[in-house]
Amino acid sequence: MAELPLAGIIVVELGDSASAPFAGKVLTELGAEVWKVERPSGDSSRGWGPSVWKGTGASFHALNRGKKLIGVDIKDPEQLETLRTFIATKADVFIHNLRPGSAGKYGLDAESLRARNPRLVHAEVGAFGSRGPLSTLPGYDPLMQAFSGIMSITGEPDHPPARAGVSIVDFGTGMWSVIGILSALFQRGNAGTGVGAAVSASLLETAIAWMTIGIANYNADGDLGGRFGSGTAFIVPHRAYSTSDGDLIVSCANDTLFAQLAAALGHPEWAEDERFATNAGRIANRTVIDGLIGDVIATRTRAHWQETFGAAGIACAPIQTTDELVAHEQTAALGILGHVEDDEIDLVGLPLSFDGERPPALPGAGGIGAADDEFRERMQ
Q: Which residues are catalytic?
A: 170
CA distances from 196 to 59, 90, 191, 361, 368 (A): 32, 14, 11, 30, 30
Alpha-carbon gap, residue 297 to 234, rounded angstroms: 22
For the chain, the first-to-last Cα distance in angstroms comes to 32
How many of the other CB atoms lie within 10 Å of CB of 26?
Answer: 23
**Residue 95, beta-bridge partner list:** 13, 123
Please, which residues have CB within 8 angstroms of residue 298's CB and are 6 or more apart in sequence? 241, 242, 243, 244
Please, which residues have CB within 8 angstroms of residue 278's CB and are 6 or more apart in sequence? 255
Cis status, amide bond into 237, omega within 30 of 0 = yes
Give the DSSP letter string of 252-317. --SHHHHHHHHHHTT-GGGGGSTTTSSHHHHHHTHHHHHHHHHHHHTTS-HHHHHHHHHHHT-EEE
Alpha-carbon gap, residue 134 to 154, rounded angstroms: 24
Alpha-carbon gap, residue 248 to 242, rounded angstroms: 6
**Residue 122, beta-bridge partner list:** 94, 198
Q: Can you tell me whether residue 46 is helix, strand or coil?
A: helix
- Helix 168-190 and helix 19-29: axis angle, to 10°? 50
CA distances from 57 to 96, 198, 222, 347, 365 (A): 21, 32, 44, 13, 11
Strand residue runs (E) in 127-257: 197-202, 238-242, 247-251
